[in-house]
Structure 1
Amino acid sequence: MYTPTSTNISYFEDNSTLFDSEYTPYKDRVETYLVPFIFAIIFIVGVLGNGTLVIVYVRHRGMRNAPNTYIFSLALADLLVILICVPFVSTIYTLESWPWGEVICRLSETGKDISIGVSVFTLTALSAERYCAIVNPFRKLQLRKLPLVCATFIWAAALLFAAPAAIFSNTSTAHIHNNVTILYCSPYPPGWTNYPKWMTLAKALIYYALPLLVIAFFYVLMAQRLLASTKEMPGALHAGQGEAQAKARKSVACMVLIFVIVFFICFLPYHALEMWFYLSPTAQSDYNDWIHAMRIMGFCLSFLNSCVNPVALYCVSGVFRQHFNRYLCCRRGALHPTCSSRLSRTAICETSFRSTQRLRCNRNPTESVVISNYDYGSKKKNNLISRNSDGVTIMTIRDSNDFLTDVNEKCINR
């Protein structure tokens, strides 16, 4: 039989006493044992994965390029919610009463909002950066400090939007069964009837709907650009090379679409159910076991998002995979990502990021090919000079900032 948990704040405010027949002891509920198990996995994977990202970014100067700055900020936000929220909120569906006090309640609610804000705004900025990198891969070389400025602004905005949680979060009491009184953590001030409704709607718009629209907009443009570029290949390309480049660009378009879908899945159930619960006039009477199960699923998915990013990067990034193996599996060894630079007469390069971190440029069969490697964790620049069939010297200046998905490379005609 369904029983509201301590997260159903408005239910407690409007129904101070529940009928005995509606109450199910916590020891008889599936979520009492399932939720802590899920949160334990989230905590372990999140700390190891995001911690590794932070360590690699801090220890290796050569890894501090534009996209990795955003990835570093995202990892910090995920670590924040994992360390100060997950251990405490995991007891919501396990213990009847909030055992941590008002200070931890205020801290966890504030940290959760900060982390969500940083994560969502960083993903939005990263999608814009990725689009600009594909459309104009050379412009980002002139704006090296922009990612750091954007990341700082993102954290400031997240702190500002989390201020209501820091101010109004509190612990309140409710009567749930016979003479049993529990203490629960609420992000909403007591007595403000309409505040939860407006705050729930505002969070859904600011933390989900609007950023998702912006992310989807940039990713759609990015996919269109990558797919359209397959039709712009010179006829001189060998059929095998053209097919390989087309396949690589389609893979990139599919990969960025997957990230959007993962983000959508992780946060859609949570925001949809919260809006239904607080905005629907019949939500309390319609609340049942099935909706309760869906709310638990949305609750877990919203925190699961904090640990899936390192897993996704491990799957798609060969460089991160080697770093991950080096730090966590004690597999030492130099990294050997290869950058194949195929230079055209006009020295116009098109970036295609893959797990092997390769940068491919259009060339004619008569032109030379320059291949370079970089040292592990090095900031060293490899300046490569080649001469094509027309006697034109081409210099490739490569900044070895390669880490996850990006290679900074500039081609200059001389």
Structure 2
Amino acid sequence: VLGKPSQPPNASWPRSQNGSSAEADPAANLTFSSYYQHSSPVAAMFIVAYVLIFLLCMVGNALVCFTVLKNRHMRTVTNVFILNLAVSDLLVGIFCMPITLVDNLITGWPFDNTTCKMSGLVQGMSVSASVFTLVAIAMERFRCIVHPFREKLTVQQALVTIVVIWALALLIMCPSAVTLTVTRDEHHFMVDAHNRTYPLYSCWEAWPAQGMRRVYTTVLFSHIYLAPLALIVVMYACIARKLFKASGPARAGEEATTEGGRASRRRARVVHMLVMVALFFTLSWLPLWALLLLVDYGQLSEPQLHLVTVYAFPLAHWLAFFNSSANPVIYGYFNENFRRGFQAAFRAQLCPLQWGSHKEAYSERPSGLLRRRALTDVHRSDSGLPSESGPSSGARRPGRLPLRNGRVAHHGLTPERPGCSPMPLTTPAWDL
């Protein structure tokens, strides 16, 4: 549904504007197309580009899942939603990227009817679940920051919300799954380099009328792109206004060093990361939606439709799929806890973290300051260390933890093992 023209791609060229076959002698209306849509250099470029984002998607999102599931202190409400985003991106990488690449290289549809339905359904559901999850994240941040005294969402409630999100995604994509089908064009054949001919099959949405496809595309665009992202913009604007007001009255640097100022900056960093995820999603999927609306409403000629199908759609699909690969990069860039989790994932086999012990590990601060043992207040944070989402995250309650050399110990972690590279077991006290 998110990439097929309203008529069978490639098989529509010998048909008239109303989609009916010509009534003349069938032999005089046969159409022959090259088996491959692109030359070897162009095809190689597409293959390399798709393989790169596929590997990045698999590795990056697998690391996100590993980091959130492995570390109990990472199981916050926001991170549970981020985990759901990673799962939907993995589904796109597994079920959609390889199939879409092959479909963009070969003139016809080389797979069966089940693959046609599954590919369209999984891609549509993943996109729907992603945008609905972005809305849920924005709403959760909105409640925590704009209305801090309201009851916080728990992890269990977040899991129920995720189930509802996937149910809505399945519901809205059911019409596409029903109408997607594989058909053969009796008057169109593919010819390979050895001059052998093959029948042409196409995977497309067989709507009873052209207008129904147009209405469905408009409904999808408004419900899983335009309206959700407009809601996200409004909520993040309110959050930014609230944070700006909270940091505004600071005087002579004194207020900025208070716990309230530090909490406000932590929230601002998390919101900055989430805004970047939503913005990148918006820009990545905009070209593909523009092409879908252009095909349905633009009344393109057959050469124009051929050009859009062969060149524009593969590029738009690549950009949309790139969004699924870039999210882990955004998390790692903006969030120190995800960076530490990604680093720990690569060392997990050699230096596994063991939770539940009561030893403490500290690291030295090179400057040599704060040599004396001290205590520092630790409060729940928004993005990984003790969560503000509730006690279900498994984190300790706010309290006082021992401070050595300017660093706060993480309780429940084993110290560095012999032969293992140092693990980030401490958090700088000045970063809390």
Q: Same fold (TM over 0.5)?
A: yes
Q: Do the aligned residues in 2 keep the contact of 1:19 with 1:177 (CA within 8 Å)?
A: no
The alpha-carbon distance between structure 1 residues 173 and 103, as it changes in their structure 2 partners (threshold 3 A), is same
Output the CA distance in 2 between the equivalents of 1:128 and 1:24: 49
Alignment of 1:341-352 (within 5 A): 341=377
The alpha-carbon distance between structure 1 residues 134 and 357, as it changes in their structure 2 partners (threshold 3 A), is farther
The match for 1:91 among 96, 102, 122 is: 102
The match for 1:267 among 285, 288, 292 is: 285
Q: Do the aligned residues in 2 keep the contact of 1:314 with 1:321 (CA within 8 Å)?
A: yes
Q: Do the aligned residues in 2 keep the contact of 1:353 with 1:359 (CA within 8 Å)?
A: yes
- Which SS does the other structure have where 2:51 is aligned? helix
Corresponding position of 2:233 = 216
Q: Do the aligned residues in 1 keep the contact of 2:132 with 2:228 (CA within 8 Å)?
A: yes
The alpha-carbon distance between structure 1 residues 142 and 86, as it changes in their structure 2 partners (threshold 3 A), is closer
The alpha-carbon distance between structure 1 residues 77 and 240, as it changes in their structure 2 partners (threshold 3 A), is closer
Shift of residue 89, structure 1, vs aligned partner: 1.4
Output the CA distance in 1 between the equivalents of 2:376 and 2:95: 44
Output the CA distance in 2 between the equivalents of 1:248 and 1:27: 49
Counterpart of 1:214, as a letter, is L
Output the CA distance in 1 between the equivalents of 2:41 and 2:216: 30
The alpha-carbon distance between structure 1 residues 109 and 92, as it changes in their structure 2 partners (threshold 3 A), is same
Corresponding position of 2:330 = 312
- Which SS does the other structure have where 2:200 is aligned? strand
Percentage of pairs with the same residue: 21
Q: Do the aligned residues in 2 keep the contact of 1:381 with 1:399 (CA within 8 Å)?
A: no
Output the CA distance in 2 between the equivalents of 1:176 and 1:336: 70
Alignment of 1:41-56 (within 5 A): 41-56=52-67
TM-score calculated relative to the size of structure 1: 0.72
The alpha-carbon distance between structure 1 residues 121 and 222, as it changes in their structure 2 partners (threshold 3 A), is same
Corresponding position of 1:124 = 135
Output the CA distance in 2 between the equivalents of 1:274 and 1:46: 24
The match for 1:161 among 151, 156, 172 is: 172
Corresponding position of 1:367 = none
Q: Do the aligned residues in 1 keep the contact of 2:36 with 2:105 (CA within 8 Å)?
A: no
Q: Do the aligned residues in 1 keep the contact of 2:32 with 2:189 (CA within 8 Å)?
A: no
Output the CA distance in 2 between the equivalents of 1:279 and 1:311: 36
The alignment status of 1:184 with 2:199, answered yes or no, reads: no
Corresponding position of 1:104 = 115
Counterpart of 2:334, as a letter, is V
Counterpart of 1:260, as a letter, is A
The alpha-carbon distance between structure 1 residues 214 and 238, as it changes in their structure 2 partners (threshold 3 A), is same
The alpha-carbon distance between structure 1 residues 102 and 63, as it changes in their structure 2 partners (threshold 3 A), is same
Aligned pairs, number? 355
Shift of residue 127, structure 1, vs aligned partner: 0.9
Corresponding position of 1:238 = 254
Q: Do the aligned residues in 1 keep the contact of 2:269 with 2:334 (CA within 8 Å)?
A: no
Corresponding position of 2:396 = 381
Q: Do the aligned residues in 1 keep the contact of 2:184 with 2:200 (CA within 8 Å)?
A: yes
Answer with 260-269 or 51-60: which moved more: 51-60
Corresponding position of 2:14 = 16
The match for 2:320 among 302, 306, 324 is: 302
The alignment status of 1:74 with 2:72, answered yes or no, reads: no
Counterpart of 1:46, as a letter, is C
TM-score calculated relative to the size of structure 2: 0.70
Structure 2 alignment gaps of length 5 or more: 16-28, 192-196, 354-360, 364-374, 402-409, 413-432
More relative contact order in 1 or in 2 (CA 8 Å, sep 6+)? 2
The RMSD of aligned alpha carbons is 3.9
Shift of residue 352, structure 1, vs aligned partner: 7.7
- Which SS does the other structure have where 2:123 is aligned? helix
Shift of residue 53, structure 1, vs aligned partner: 2.0
Deviations 1:283-339 (A, max 9, x none): 6465575896443322111111112111110111111111111213558487989x9
The alignment status of 1:145 with 2:156, answered yes or no, reads: yes
